[in-house]
Amino acid sequence: MQYAILRHAKIKAPLMGAAVAHNHRTSSVEKCNIDAALTPLNQTLKSEGTVAERLAAKLKPLPTKVRKDAVVAVELVLSASPEWFDGLAEDRATLHRHPRFREWVKASMAWARGEFGKNILDVAVHMDESSPHMHVLAVPLTKDGRLCAKEVLARSELTRRQDGYAKAMEGFGLSRGDPAKETKRRHIKLTEKPPAGGGKASELAAQLAEANTTIAKLQQQLQRLQGFNIDYSRQIADLEKRLKAKEADLAKLEMGKHVAAEMAAAKKVAQVLRENPENDPETAMALFLEKHKGLGWVDAKSAAAGTLVASEGRFAVLHVGRGKHVLHEFQSQEAVREHELTQRRGRSGPSR
């Protein structure tokens, strides 16, 4: 069975520039999962002004001042099972011209406009990643004109949109997947500790940890500087299937109180990260890069030879000469300070 795919994401004000740069392929830090040879096939919304200008125009009439860290946009990612696209044409250039694909783009855009209307800021169709998909950026304004992503992305609204988009895609032979509340699917966070002890539980836990590490690498490539979860659908679906099977095996094992306590503590950490995204290393790096976006950048291979000019946590800007800089991530804050001390010793010369 082939499915209509719809994902939601929140975009805070400091990350809007990174999101738009990714969608329009203007970012100086691109991902390895993008095929540059196919980028000319991408499409973006033709509209007056820049995305930033259109956003400012939407926020200006609001009666209250918008916080600097407010969620100023929601991003919808609309796609379908990879097999559906391959069934039309495996070659992306041929797929781009295929009448049925163009109908899918038009129908998806029509559905999105029905949901957000004039609040849509930007649209991009990507043909250069693992599976074709559409990004839609919209301002989360309520019917009474308030900026409130919490209401726009309420669980009931997410479910309604999933049902509505699947209904709009029925003519393409695409259907809605089973709701998570019925299948009881649960994403295992990287912060969850595997069960302690030996035996079968230890073996299964090790396999789960390995699968989680693989998922993390895929998601890091996918979400770096944006935090989005939109690509590698085939690989992630396969890993999630394997994880679900191993979770079923683990559920049959009796776990001691100390194991349950460790898992509860891990869930608490995961909850803190969900409620405070600024604690997430990827978000921290994106904010740090945004703060220093005006600098001239070069490839990070020469980072070790650079002179430290700014740092925050484990992230640092290193000057490598001729007005060029690199963004470098150290193992710890202490490593940043040690790098700075080493540079100072080198400038002062040997003691007599």
Q: For residue 342, what pLDDT is reported?
A: 84
The amino acid at residue 136 is V
Q: Give the C-alpha separation, 323 to 95, whole Å.
A: 44
Give pTM, 2 decimals. 0.52
Percentage of residues in the chain with pLDDT exceeding 90?
A: 42
Domains of the chain: 4-182 (3.30.930.30), 199-274 (no CATH), 292-348 (no CATH)
Sheet hosting strand 120-126, strand order edge to edge: 4-12, 71-80, 133-138, 120-126, 43-44
Specify whether the CB–CB gap between 300 and 326 falls below 8 A: yes
Q: For residue 205, what pLDDT is reported?
A: 53
Per-residue pLDDT averaged across 209-216, rounded? 66
Residue 238 has pLDDT above 90, yes or no: no
* pLDDT one-digit tens code per residue, 142-156: 999 899 999 999 999
**The Cα angle at residue 279 between residues 274 and 280, in degrees rounded to 5:** 75
Residue 301 has pLDDT above 80, yes or no: no
pLDDT band at 183 (very low <50, low <70, confident <90, very high): very low
* pLDDT one-digit tens code per residue, 317-338: 888 888 888 888 888 888 888 8
Specify whether the CB–CB gap between 215 and 231 falls below 8 A: no
Q: Give the C-alpha separation, 93 to 258, whole Å.
A: 56
Which residues are within 8 A (CB) of 320 and not within 5 positions of it... i.e. 6 or more apart?
298, 302, 303, 305, 306, 307, 326
* pLDDT one-digit tens code per residue, 41-64: 999 988 888 999 999 999 999 988
